[in-house]
Structure 1
Amino acid sequence: MVLSKKFLIGFLSLILFLALVGCKNDSASTDEKDNDGATSENDTSPFTFTYFNAGSPGKDIDSNKTKIGKIFEEQTGTNVKMEFLVGDINTKIGTMIASGQYPDVLNPDIAIDKVLEAEAFIPLNELIDEHAPNLKKLYEPYLDRMKAEDGNIYFIPFGASQGHLPNPNIDQGAFFIQRGVLKEFGYPKIKTLDQYFELIEQYQAKYPEVDGASTIGFTALTYDWRFFSTTNTPAHLAGYPNDGEVIVDMETHEAKVYGNSEYTKRWLEKLNDANTKGLFDKEAFVANYDEYLAKLTSGRVLGFFDYGWQISQAENALKEAGDEDKRYMPLPIVFDENIKDQYIEPPSFVNNRGIGITVSAKDPVRIMKFLDNMAKEENQKLIMWGIEGETFVNDNGRYIRTDEQIATTSNQEFREEFGFQQFEWYWPRGNGLFSDGNAWEPRRQPEVAQASYTDGDKEILAKYEAEVFADLFSDPDDRPWYPAWSAELEQGSPAQIYIQKKTDLQRKYFPKLVLEANFEAIWEEYLNEYNKLDVKEYEKTLTEIVKQRIEDNK
């Protein structure tokens, strides 16, 4: 039988097609399963994993019920059942550990050490290497610092700096002063601690009451773990950023504690003097966090030191009330005129919190691919900025928000429906600047900050010849180890025990040093007790960590 040329060509084409289909199916079956039977990065079939977030309150929700989550589901086939903390964090995490049953993904927040000790997180090294090129690129400068002593990465921290851009509105440390105080005296330029308290003293003498209640010259936040807002202050006054318990020498890179230094003595002595003059809030050492915020909101407090992120609730309430004179102005106060302030943080990487995949996870590969998809720059922009034309405008390459968009994206109900509330934090994410020069976070985009300023904001900034509040502060010096406080200290180690004993000691002595008359005698007693602690071992440990980070950054 003789076959036609056309038939032969058709027959051979069919054989080739079937062969290609077979190869494709073999390839797909190989690609879609790893050696353990878990699905791979190419699988976009419906998949759901659970995520417990102990870092913030929230409403339990399926991520695909939000706009951002729905987009991620369309991209990856993955939905996330999100559960948030209710009640005590240690009780909740302790119950998980006792039962050995965990969500697929966990952010244990301050209880992370307990989770690591329980070996509840799986190593992520191979998952990142094999399935997460975007996440690896985002965290590339910090991968070595993410490793535990055994060389494994067990969790992904919340933020990898990509260049530096300070918050225009100061979310870090500052001495805050009521704007009405500055207005009363013609908007003076004050730099030193003495000048700051002199101004408050003069104003309180003129206005001893506010709405029938006594004016509070200066208060302090001392409640629970937030006590650092009072203990950190001496380092800032001396011209250093928040490195926690230590000041790091810029030349030798030696880390030295300052809790027993002249800086701390000078700070407490000033508070003691303020108390003697009736300027200090005598309830400061017994008030809880809510009571502290309520005082700031009342308009009675003239000044305080704190970190902007801790007082945002009070700031927002004062802004909504509309009395510009009762709102606060952040100032870079230091001990002496010749000190350069360092309140604005340099680029940093904090590695003591993060999100991990647990031993209970059914498909770590699909989870890692979901995290990797989030790490793409276009999806980081989605998480932070939203959708062009809806939540921001692209003005010749610069991202801005209209007044309406600012109002909308600030609305809690909208934030929850869109997914900003669920995705902005406690997931893999960057900080700083995108590759096109726009701020990673809208709040750090100067144009967005300025668009939200009230007439009062604009007026007081003009008085100090500034466009945004960060203009009042010095640029940060380069500190590749920053922040030293993020160092992971082994539980039960001499360095960790030092921290606990030092905190207990300061809780005991700081109220006495501020509120009692015999300051010098109490200081000597405090100093004697402080120097009994294992200071040298702690300094040695922190110095080694600082120098290692410098080496890793080269």
Structure 2
Amino acid sequence: MSKKLLLSCLAAVLVFTAACSKDNKNNGSEASSSAVSSSPTASESAPASEPASEAPKDKVTFSYFLGVANAPDVNTNETTIGKVLEDQTGVNFKIEHLVGDLKAKIGTMIASNDYPDVINPDAGIDQLLDAGAFIDLTDMIEKYPNIKRVYGPYLSQMKAADGKIYFIPFSNVVGGYTADPNINQGAFWIQRRVLKEAGYPKIKTLEEYMNLIEEFVAKHKDENLTGLVTLTHDWRFFATSNVPMHLDGYPNDGNVEVDMSTFEAKTYYTTDSTKNWLQKLNDFNAKGLFDKASFVDNYDQYLAKLSSKKVVGFFDYGWQTGNARNLLTDAARQDPTQDDFVYQPMPLTWDGSKDQLQDPPGFVKNRGIGISVSAKDPERIMEYWDNLLKEENQVLRSWGIKGETYEVDDKGRFLRTAEQIAKIDEPFNLKFGFRYYAWDWPQYGTNSTLADGNALAPGYQPEVFQMSLTDADKMILEKYGVKTYAELFADPDERVWFPAWGIPKAQGSPEQIWETTKDEITKKFYPKLVLAKPADFDKVWDEYLTAFGKIDTAGYEKWYTEQIKAAIEAAK
């Protein structure tokens, strides 16, 4: 199911870029490290943020494996942010991003018993925990005041079944909770030109959405358009399989929908909702409107198609598609006529009732970054993380450098000028380091608030959000009677257990085995169901139900219901 938050995202995920998109990256500009020390930040009024013991003078490079493919490999000291942090600590990280299959990559590490110094394995974290690949951080955390300050309220939730802490998550909220004005979570995306040509209709159902796409493609046959694509590569398969849950009016709790009255957890893989979703894709495929390659394309190929201007619509999470959408919004900022190809997020359900596509506040406990048993100097890595968690460095990694990437007005509010916003694009985010430090490190969670009241994430600061909007953005928001993209979507209901997919499961447990088997079944049958002749769909669906009926779904639902209710009791 959904991996990086979300939250996030993920999260992804701290900024709203010059193109009104913030997924998995921040905004910034080129600046010298000397400017940082003189930049006033929220740290002056922050809670105690004592420095860790002084780092050794010699420089050292640690290896860091990141189990996602969201940026080129890099030495952090080749970025502006990373160089500042190296000057402070003497530490550089050589980041290697995932290429190929995640489980295979991690399996190779385990077989050789030779690991990078630091690992953020994303969906592969259970493999590494089971192999004993991470060191215990429990006692070490006590030595580092900033880590303890930032993660103190969450330490009990970070413990494994044996009472030890093996990794540090990313979604912890520090200070107040700041809502996201943009869409970083789930949405049904559609090219703006489709809405413009149709007179900006307020579509609320999947039926209306797919009809709109079908009509547009029929009117533009000479453009060789693809009506709809879905993402199925590796662990990202959830971008296709999660859709029925959202159409039912639920947020991304993973494999279950939780009834808000009884708090019973139920899976949805064999429901009419899932059947109807797959049948809609089957119908689109029969009409030549669905991209068959959706079931074989890797993540990079998927992103390339989204940025090609040929794909009319898709469902996915903002944090997962930001790299592609940012290219389109950057182009539209340079040439307003290109705004036609920017994707607009829409909140849909089966019947047009209240959606829950936006995540409520939550804490993801089963993803994070850990220090491996092969690490050369764990204490020095912890010192780097502790230094990174000083509030002035959280400002650096999210806002950048005063006078270069942000300003402070006479009321102490952080903002960005039009010039600063204009120069912030994809290449800039890479060079400055905002992309590399937006997620995947011990950090203030994206929705956090700084000690002086400013939002941690620039895109969540109202002044920056409004300044970042182009005339075309403002126009389409006005057409729909809102001032932010989030206002198009319903406010999320409070769910103290959220996200349910973040509740840890022991490797080899019945719940973990159920999920593994479920993945095998859905990845085998979903392509068959979508690509089948329409007359054969029901036959293949029956075969699918037979295969699914062989796993203990009732036991899985019972376990989840117990976990949900326990979380509710603990929150009282």
Do Structure 1 and Structure 2 share a fold, with TM-score over 0.5? yes
Letter in 1 for 2:160: A
Report the Cα distance in structure 2 between the residues aligned to 1:44 and 1:511, rounded to whole angstroms.
Answer: 53
- Matched with 1:42 is 53
Contact 2:233–2:296 (8 Å) recurs in 1: yes
2:233 to 208, 223, 227: 223
Tell me the CA shift for residue 59 of structure 1.
Answer: 4.1
- Matched with 1:468 is 484
Tell me the CA shift for residue 335 of structure 1.
Answer: 0.7
2:453 to 437, 451, 465: 437
Matched, 1:284 2:297: no
- CA deviations 1:57-85 (Å, max 9, x no partner) are 5444364x65444544565x442343424
1:140 to 124, 147, 152: 152
Letter in 2 for 1:428: P
Matches within 5 A, 1:349-428: 349-361=363-375, 363-395=377-409, 396-410=411-425, 412=427, 414-415=428-429, 418-428=432-442
Report the Cα distance in structure 2 between the residues aligned to 1:110 and 1:239, rounded to whole angstroms.
Answer: 25
- CA deviations 1:197-241 (Å, max 9, x no partner) are 22223323333331xx2x333232223322211110001011111
- Matched with 1:194 is 207
1:111 to 111, 124, 139: 124
Report the Cα distance in structure 1 between the residues aligned to 2:115 and 2:282, rounded to whole angstroms.
Answer: 49
Judging changes above 3 Å, is the alpha-carbon distance between structure 1 residues 257 and 106 closer, same or farther for their aligned structure 2 residues?
same
Judging changes above 3 Å, is the alpha-carbon distance between structure 1 residues 407 and 84 closer, same or farther for their aligned structure 2 residues?
farther
Residues paired across the two proteins, number: 507
Judging changes above 3 Å, is the alpha-carbon distance between structure 1 residues 180 and 87 closer, same or farther for their aligned structure 2 residues?
closer
Tell me the CA shift for residue 362 of structure 1.
Answer: 5.2
Tell me the CA shift for residue 492 of structure 1.
Answer: 2.5
Tell me the CA shift for residue 280 of structure 1.
Answer: 3.1
Q: What secondary structure, in the 3-state scheme, does the structure 2 residue paired with 1:209 have? A: helix
Report the Cα distance in structure 1 between the residues aligned to 2:378 and 2:421, rounded to whole angstroms.
Answer: 38
Q: What secondary structure, in the 3-state scheme, does the structure 1 residue paired with 2:295 have? A: coil
Judging changes above 3 Å, is the alpha-carbon distance between structure 1 residues 223 and 357 closer, same or farther for their aligned structure 2 residues?
closer
Q: After superposing the two structures, state which structure 1 stretch, 66-75 or 363-372, moved more.
A: 66-75
Report the Cα distance in structure 1 between the residues aligned to 2:119 and 2:314, rounded to whole angstroms.
Answer: 36
Judging changes above 3 Å, is the alpha-carbon distance between structure 1 residues 365 and 287 closer, same or farther for their aligned structure 2 residues?
closer
1:120 to 122, 126, 133: 133
Contact 1:41–1:366 (8 Å) recurs in 2: no
Q: What secondary structure, in the 3-state scheme, does the structure 1 residue paired with 2:189 have? A: strand
Matched, 1:348 2:370: no
Matched, 1:330 2:340: no
Report the Cα distance in structure 1 between the residues aligned to 2:76 and 2:524, rounded to whole angstroms.
Answer: 46
- CA deviations 1:383-420 (Å, max 9, x no partner) are 211222221111223221123322444353x5455443
Judging changes above 3 Å, is the alpha-carbon distance between structure 1 residues 119 and 440 closer, same or farther for their aligned structure 2 residues?
same
Matches within 5 A, 1:109-258: 109-129=122-142, 131-162=143-174, 163-210=176-223, 213=224, 215-258=225-268
Report the Cα distance in structure 2 between the residues aligned to 1:217 and 1:83, rounded to whole angstroms.
Answer: 37
Matched, 1:527 2:545: yes
Give unmatched runs, 5+ long, in structure 1.
1-39
Contact 2:229–2:313 (8 Å) recurs in 1: yes
Tell me the CA shift for residue 440 of structure 1.
Answer: 1.8
Higher relative contact order (CA 8 A, sep 6+): 2
User: Pairwise CA RMSD of aligned residues?
Assistant: 2.7
Letter in 1 for 2:420: Q
TM-score (norm 1): 0.83
Letter in 2 for 1:198: N
Give unmatched runs, 5+ long, in structure 2.
1-50
Matched, 1:504 2:514: no
Judging changes above 3 Å, is the alpha-carbon distance between structure 1 residues 429 and 553 closer, same or farther for their aligned structure 2 residues?
farther
Letter in 1 for 2:468: S
Report the Cα distance in structure 2 between the residues aligned to 1:472 and 1:353, rounded to whole angstroms.
Answer: 30
Matches within 5 A, 1:71-90: 71-72=84-85, 75=88, 77-85=89-97, 87=99
Report the Cα distance in structure 2 between the residues aligned to 1:500 and 1:91, rounded to whole angstroms.
Answer: 15
Contact 2:52–2:387 (8 Å) recurs in 1: no
Name the larger-Rg structure: 1
Tell me the CA shift for residue 153 of structure 1.
Answer: 0.4
- CA deviations 1:496-519 (Å, max 9, x no partner) are 222122222222322333332233
- CA deviations 1:328-382 (Å, max 9, x no partner) are 2110011113x21111111122222222233344554443333223223222112
Identity over aligned pairs, percent: 51
Report the Cα distance in structure 2 between the residues aligned to 1:393 and 1:286, rounded to whole angstroms.
Answer: 46
Contact 2:327–2:426 (8 Å) recurs in 1: no
Report the Cα distance in structure 1 between the residues aligned to 2:483 and 2:251, rounded to whole angstroms.
Answer: 23
- CA deviations 1:3-37 (Å, max 9, x no partner) are xxxxxxxxxxxxxxxxxxxxxxxxxxxxxxxxxxx
Q: After superposing the two structures, state which structure 1 stretch, 459-468 or 503-512, moved more.
A: 503-512
Matches within 5 A, 1:20-39: none
Q: After superposing the two structures, state which structure 1 stretch, 281-290 or 189-198, moved more.
A: 281-290
Matched, 1:513 2:529: yes
Judging changes above 3 Å, is the alpha-carbon distance between structure 1 residues 286 and 53 closer, same or farther for their aligned structure 2 residues?
closer
Judging changes above 3 Å, is the alpha-carbon distance between structure 1 residues 41 and 259 closer, same or farther for their aligned structure 2 residues?
same
Tell me the CA shift for residue 155 of structure 1.
Answer: 0.8
Judging changes above 3 Å, is the alpha-carbon distance between structure 1 residues 116 and 278 closer, same or farther for their aligned structure 2 residues?
closer
- CA deviations 1:285-323 (Å, max 9, x no partner) are 343434433333333332221112222233233331642
Report the Cα distance in structure 1 between the residues aligned to 2:326 and 2:83, rounded to whole angstroms.
Answer: 31
